Amino acid sequence: MHKNVVWLLVVMVVNLSGCFNNTVSTRPDVINIASILTFDSIIGKVAKIALQAAVEDVNSDPTILNGTKLKITFHDSNFSGFLSMMEAIHAMETEVVALIGPQTSVLAHVVSQVANELQVPLLSFTATDPALSSLQYPFFVRTTHSDLYQMAAIADIVRYYGWRQVTAIYMDDDHGRNGIISLGDQLVARGCKISHKAPIKPQATKTDISNVLVQVALMESRVLVIHTCANSGLDVLEVAKSLEMLDRGYVWIATNWLSTVIDISSPLPLKTLDSMQGFITLKTYTKDSNLTRKFASKWQNLTTFGLSTYCLYAYDTVWLLARALDAYFDQGGNISFSKDLRLNDVKGKILNLDSLSIFNGGKLLLQDILHVKMEGLTGVIEFTSDKDLVFPAFEVLNVIGTGVRKIGYWSNISSLSTISPEKVNMNPPHQSSSPEALHTVIWPGQTIQKPRGWVFPQNAKQFEIGVPNRVSFTEFVGQSKETGAFKGYCIDVFTSAVNLLPYAVPYKFQSYGDSVKNPSNTELVSLINADVYDAAVGDIAITTNRTRLADFSQPFIESGLVVVAPVSRANSSTWAFLRPFSPLMWCVSGIFFIVVGAVVWTLEHRINDEFRGPPKKQIVTVLWFSFSTLFSSHRENTLSTLGRMVLILWLFVVLIINSSYTASLTSILTVQKLYSPIKGIDSLMASEDPIGYQENSFVRNYLIAEYGIHEDRLIPLSLPEDFKKALKDGPKHGGVAAVVDERPYIELFLSTRCDFSIVGQEFTKNGWGFAFPRDSPLAADMSTAILKLSENGELQRIHDKWLLRSACSSQGTKFEVDRLELASFQGLFFICGLACFLALVIYIVLTIRQFYKHYPTLSESTGRSIQSGPLKTFISFVDEKEETTKTRSKRKYYSEGSSSRIYDAGNASIQNYDESKIELSK
């Protein structure tokens, strides 16, 4: 009976275990994980070794997983997306809780679909395609840095060296295309662009690669960014070497596949090294630590391959997964799987999918993975909210000799810098790039001179250059009616500059205009933007509106708007001596002469006999003293300190006024001058007279928009003869008051027409330049050539050839000098006026004080009572000589003293008499 009971219990346990399908204990003895690699690739070989080492270290560490062991199985994708998917399905049959890999981004796109359906986290340390970060792949976790940051680093390098365009060479798969899309976005954000894309098909032969690179060699850009995998990248370099594309003038920037090859395959064959000399490449930055050095020592005992950053990230990925599993179990998670009911619909139709199950704890484990924070071989392992690793950083390397040379760093905090990222993180003020953000680079061809970055494309058609067909001022640019050839100042400057370029530029001129009137240069420039012309050469002013349509070279001639008007000689007249000063200046000067004379009289009146006497005489004295100071011939002496101070300041003012008047009058009487009622653009704005301008010039719109001049006042003129006639006729006879045009035209116009002159100041500043399409490197090279023409004197020689004309005899004269205005002397008059005011204030205070001191005496001496009027008494006191006041005060003082003595003597006599009388009575 007991045996029956035991068997019954066994059957019940078996049945119960069947009810909990595929359920295991909370902390199982073994956890299955799988890795999908490409065994035949150099990265796959070293990654497998690193993963095995990590699993061994995790299993031997008692502090992790509490005795549970990791069991990893490896599956070969053999460079095939189909095989990767099949291997992933095969791995799922063993009820794995996580997949590590696959190795490439292309395979990751495929395997991620399987991982999503079965809710198994997929960790990859090599799939760097930025598109894998999208919401489409929730179970994909990248345990290295996205190519998005690598492309940002390359874009910063391109901008740092001043290049504007790059050619992208890449593998035409998900990894290559999405990486180059990110590069294009990063370049555009920095004002650069990809000028040509050169995709290479997967599994391409060297012939295929050669066909692609031949096309690249015909492009203008010499800055080449190569973004491939390791195996195909070496083939590209070998073909480029055979096509002589690794010589001087080229710039090669490789993504981190090149640094990986160098690290793993070191030492490389000399032939391979020779094909990458002068390259710039990136390498994921890993912090140097004791853990890293210890693992590097261990690595030497594991394999003969070099240690790359992919090995470090593979090792950290296993530890990341182990810590996440440990947290998963701590939260009560268990390893359980359930059938996917959707697979019943395809059962027996395509594949036997009965063995595939959904990992029930996949979502929880995924969250635990993303919340891990640890210190690994590569540094801090921590994820952002976008599932990216924190602190993306790269080393910038220059391949030279038999190895690489570190020329700087890049991080998302500091951009390019010669300071290591961890120091920048500790010292945030170093965030901005310095002028020496990278050390010196040795470029292809063993040169340290930065390559220009582009050449004129060898397969390009001739440049179609638009040239305005002018009917006036053809000295600047014109077309021969007989031969159709273009000539003129602008044409000679352009051809001379092109001859200085270090490469040939095939071009041909195309006439723009109807030969009846001057064409609009703004419309010509707009045709460049419309791809009708490849450039424009002529008398094209660089204006704001035109710079929105095209890029311009360095100006080859200075320009600006000026006003030209009829002028006449200003002859001398009877009243010419009044012309040096303006009327206001004469009035203020006369007033100050009288004021200063009155102030000095006031200060001297009480103490100086020369400033006293009858009123008529005092008035004459004031006027004489005031105006005689103009010649320093005043005979009156000043006795008071305040009067002398005022007089010294006034004599200084008179000296300045006298000198200025003399100089201005001398200039008026001896130098021939020209006169015009128009003084400049301000005079034209204030008047209502018509204004001439060159037909189809930007001047019309400029005057309307900037100066508010009504369009009805603007008269278009075509030929220099039209300018002359309109100015001669004047506004009263159907002409214009003045003409507004650019200085080069006006100077040429005035060279043989002496009845007109430029009036006022130049009121704009610009120049003439050659127009090119947006971001055209030719604009910068032509600017350099124009500067060379200026430095070697060739630009001046061309100017003299076309624009130097016989000068008018009036060129030695000067335009009428403006009168001296009050504004030029305001400071002097202010100082003098302030001195007079202070002197009067001090004098009045002293006089009032003296008045109150002598007030009683003054009242008695004048016979007035105090009640008769203090004001009249004060006026009498002021008019009285100071010496008289003091004498009267002394006399009163002595008289009062004598009376006191007499009174005292009388009292003493009376006292003596009384005493004698008393004695006698006794």
**What CATH number does the domain containing 779 carry?**
3.40.190.10
What is the pLDDT confidence band of residue 8, given thresholds at 50, 70 and 90?
very low
What is the pLDDT confidence band of residue 20, given thresholds at 50, 70 and 90?
very low
The pLDDT assigned to 15 comes to 41
Question: Does residue 531 sit in the same domain as residue 601?
Answer: no
Question: Does residue 273 sit in the same domain as residue 422?
Answer: yes
The pLDDT assigned to 760 comes to 86
Question: Does residue 722 sit in the same domain as residue 778?
Answer: no
The pLDDT assigned to 880 comes to 64
Asked if the structure places residue 257 within a domain, the reply is: yes
Question: Does residue 660 sit in the same domain as residue 751?
Answer: no
Asked if the structure places residue 7 within a domain, the reply is: no
Higher-confidence position of 622 and 163:
163
Range in 139-153, 438-452, 583-597, 724-738 the model is least confident about = 583-597
Asked if the structure places residue 896 within a domain, the reply is: no
Range in 273-287, 437-451, 456-470 the model is least confident about = 456-470
Give the mean model confidence (pLDDT) for residues 123-129: 94
What is the pLDDT confidence band of residue 889, given thresholds at 50, 70 and 90?
low
Give the mean model confidence (pLDDT) for residues 438-442: 95
Q: What percent of the chain has pLDDT over 90?
A: 51
Alpha-carbon gap, residue 28 to 97, rounded angstroms: 12
Dihedral angle sign, alpha carbons of residues 157, 162, 168, 169: negative
Question: Does residue 472 sit in the same domain as residue 420?
Answer: no
Range in 402-411, 460-469, 642-651 the model is least confident about = 642-651
Please give the tally of structural domains in the chain: 5
Q: Which of 654, 670, 686 is the last residue of a domain?
A: 670
Asked if the structure places residue 821 within a domain, the reply is: no
Asked if the structure places residue 431 within a domain, the reply is: no
Question: Does residue 153 sit in the same domain as residue 273?
Answer: yes
Asked if the structure places residue 438 within a domain, the reply is: no
Asked if the structure places residue 859 within a domain, the reply is: no
Backbone phi, then psi, for 751, in 5-degree steps? -60, -25
Q: Which of 635, 652, 670 is the last residue of a domain?
A: 670
Higher-confidence position of 355 and 250:
250
Give the mean model confidence (pLDDT) for residues 649-661: 82
Question: Does residue 598 sit in the same domain as residue 646?
Answer: yes
Question: Does residue 269 sit in the same domain as residue 165?
Answer: yes
Per-residue model confidence as pLDDT tens digits over 309-366: 999 999 999 999 999 999 999 999 999 988 877 666 655 544 556 667 899 999 999 9
Range in 128-137, 146-155, 521-530, 575-584 the model is least confident about = 575-584
Mean pLDDT for the chain?
A: 84
Give the mean model confidence (pLDDT) for residues 761-788: 92
Question: Does residue 647 sit in the same domain as residue 541?
Answer: no
Alpha-carbon gap, residue 606 to 389, rounded angstroms: 97
Alpha-carbon gap, residue 389 to 411, rounded angstroms: 13
Half-sphere exposure of residue 698: CA atoms within 13 angstroms, side-chain side: 21
Nearest CA-CA partner of 728 in 754, 746, 755, 694: 755
The 3-class SS string of 363-409 reads: HHHHHHHHCCCEEECCEEECECCCCCECCCEEEEEEEECCEEEEEEE
Alpha-carbon gap, residue 436 to 454, rounded angstroms: 23
Question: Does residue 66 sit in the same domain as residue 80?
Answer: yes
Asked if the structure places residue 517 within a domain, the reply is: yes
Q: What is the CATH classification number for the domain harbouring 311?
A: 3.40.50.2300
The pLDDT assigned to 734 comes to 92
The pLDDT assigned to 130 comes to 92
The pLDDT assigned to 433 comes to 45
Please answer whether residues 196 and 221 qualify as being in contact, where contact means their C-beta atoms are separated by less than 8 angstroms: yes
Domain hosting 741: range is 675-765
Alpha-carbon gap, residue 21 to 596, rounded angstroms: 119
The pLDDT assigned to 921 comes to 45
Question: Does residue 281 sit in the same domain as residue 414?
Answer: yes
Higher-confidence position of 550 and 910:
550
Alpha-carbon gap, residue 180 to 174, rounded angstroms: 10
pLDDT of residue 12 exceeding 80: no
Nearest CA-CA partner of 706 in 546, 555, 544, 558: 544
Q: Which of 402, 426, 450 is the last residue of a domain?
A: 426
Question: Does residue 275 sit in the same domain as residue 312?
Answer: no
